[in-house]
A and B are shown apart, each in its own frame.
Chain A
Amino acid sequence: MDSEEKAIIREAQRGNVLAFESLVKKYDRQVLRLAYSLLSSRQDAEDVYQEVFVRVYRKLPDFRFKSEFSTWLHRVVVNYCINHQRKAKRNLFFSLDKSLDPDSEGWKETLASNEQNPEERAVNQELACEIETALAQLSAKQKAVFVLRHFHGHKLKEIATIMQCSEGTVKNYLFRATSKMRTLLQQHALK
């Protein structure tokens, strides 16, 4: 963490709203992307965005600079998403079919490469859907580790700090997640 960021955080801890808003502006893209990757729903990701930053606003005075601010923030996001997924599963609102979320489909479409022809795009969309379905079969923690490592490029050591567990535990989650994903996607490839 550089000294400028430390100064901004200290200002925000003293109640300076502008300092807090500048922290939001610096990190909110990462927060929204991570929440979306973990929840696969744009609406849920936006809800988590709000909850996370309100919680960070309340808890910021307790932040003691023992870790990077971004790590602390990611921890809040991951914890929220894990709880959110558990609640959703308990309430049977969790959908394994990505295509049921029209909003996120729209979001994804804006990312589709223009160079792909319609057939390629259709195949890729189908594959992306299969990957999403496979991801939904993982436990909340396996998915969190897998997404953080594979799609967000965090090192295992960082993930261990974010999830407040040992590096060995993180490796176990990752190995189980990848094995399960590979089996599921191989089944799809054989179809």
Chain B
Amino acid sequence: MDLPEKLEEYIQLYLYDELSEAEKQAFETYLESHEEGREQLEQWRWFHGLLEHKAQPEPSEDELLLARLDLRDRLRSERRAEHSAGFWQKVSAGMAMRPLPRFVPALVFVLTGVLLGQFTPFVFRMWQDPTPALAPPALAEEAFISDVDLIEYEPRSGSVTVHYKVLRGVALQGNIESPRIRNVLSHAIRAESNPGRRLTAIKASGGASFVDKELETALIYALEKDEIDGVRLRAVQALSRQPISETAKRAFVRVLMKDPNPAVRIEALEVLSQMREAEVASVLQNASRIDENEFVRLRAARALQRTENPNWRDRVTE
């Protein structure tokens, strides 16, 4: 041990428990006989104690849920992009990654020559054949054409080859009790590009009298992230008709604190005002003081007054 030249370093390693057992013992023996070393150790201890005042924030469950949902959307587009990458793109990407040996172009040239020689008579026969090489499959009645990828047209023979994708339409009938219906509605609330359909999906989900985690998460996603005010408003209303979980409650608090639209904030405020909790009361108090909209401040103040009523009913379910 190189004491006391590296005393400060040893003190830190000692405090971080990074010394070996032997080093630790030697260091403690050194400290016993050196007043100055002990003083320095105390100063460093003071510094470590000071750092304890910096609490490490913990992300909440709903924070994580929303981050996961965003990530799921991003990965979905990532996969879509992967699938739509063309064959030649993949080939060129592969070639760019691995430098080809010098003999490969020559080999390709020779092989092309051999293949041309071998198959030319066959290709020639096909060209003259009036029957199309590929028979078009019958289009199923319920299938829709989604994307036409490629059309090959041969003017001499009049042959046309169409490469396309089909989508199959599904009509699912049921009610909100059906897990499959809830699953599709949750997907529509989060991912449907048409706001009208998102709104209808939210309305349809508002009849649930139980907490479905996936549906609840989708509604929370809509009420916090949807760009259309009306959709967010409907999401607050739909969520408020379900038994309100802790996660939903936190979402309402965030809406009250951050939503740019006063009508949406008021809707969230109305839901929150039915809960008897100190945390909610302080949020309402804040809103009654600092909300930029006078009407929201007024409604928050009234809601606070209502909380003083002893017959008040608590709505939060754990």
Q: Is A104 an interface residue (CB 8 A)?
A: yes
Residue of A nearest to B254 (CB): A106
Number of A-B contacts (CB under 8 A): 91
Known: A150-B51, A156-B18. A174 touches B57 (CB 8 A): no
| B57 touching A104, Cβ below 8 Å | yes
Contact residue among B8, B50, B63 (Cβ-Cβ distance under 8 Å from A131): B50
Q: How large is the interface on B (under 10, 10 to 19, 20 to 34, 35 or more residues)?
A: 20 to 34
Contact residue among A29, A57, A132 (Cβ-Cβ distance under 8 Å from B75): A57
| A178 touching B47, Cβ below 8 Å | yes
Contact residue among B16, B44, B53, B70 (Cβ-Cβ distance under 8 Å from A182): B44
Contact residue among B54, B60, B70, B75 (Cβ-Cβ distance under 8 Å from A17): B75
| B53 touching A128, Cβ below 8 Å | yes
- One digit per residue, 1 when the CB lies within 8 angstroms of any chain B CB and 0 when it does not, for chain A 90-119 equals 000000000000001011101110000000
Cβ contacts under 8 Å, A128 to chain B:
53-55
Contact residue among A29, A131, A181, A189 (Cβ-Cβ distance under 8 Å from B59): A29
Known: A178-B12, A182-B44. A21 touches B59 (CB 8 A): no
Residue of A nearest to B67 (CB): A49
| A32 touching B75, Cβ below 8 Å | no
- One digit per residue, 1 when the CB lies within 8 angstroms of any chain A CB and 0 when it does not, for chain B 68-85 equals 101110110011000000
The majority secondary structure among interface residues of chain A is helix
Q: How large is the interface on A (under 10, 10 to 19, 20 to 34, 35 or more residues)?
A: 35 or more
Residue of B nearest to A174 (CB): B12
| B16 touching A21, Cβ below 8 Å | no
What's the Cα separation between A54 and B73 when bound, in Å? 11
Chain B residues within CB distance 8 Å of chain A: 8-9, 12-13, 16, 18, 43-44, 47, 50-51, 53-60, 63-64, 67-68, 70-72, 74-75, 78-79, 257
List, sorted by A's number, 28 A–B pairs whose CB atoms are closer than 8 Å.
A17-B75, A17-B79, A21-B72, A24-B68, A28-B64, A28-B68, A32-B64, A33-B58, A36-B59, A46-B67, A49-B67, A49-B71, A53-B75, A54-B71, A54-B74, A108-B55, A108-B57, A111-B55, A111-B57, A127-B54, A128-B53, A128-B54, A128-B55, A171-B13, A178-B12, A178-B47, A185-B47, A185-B50
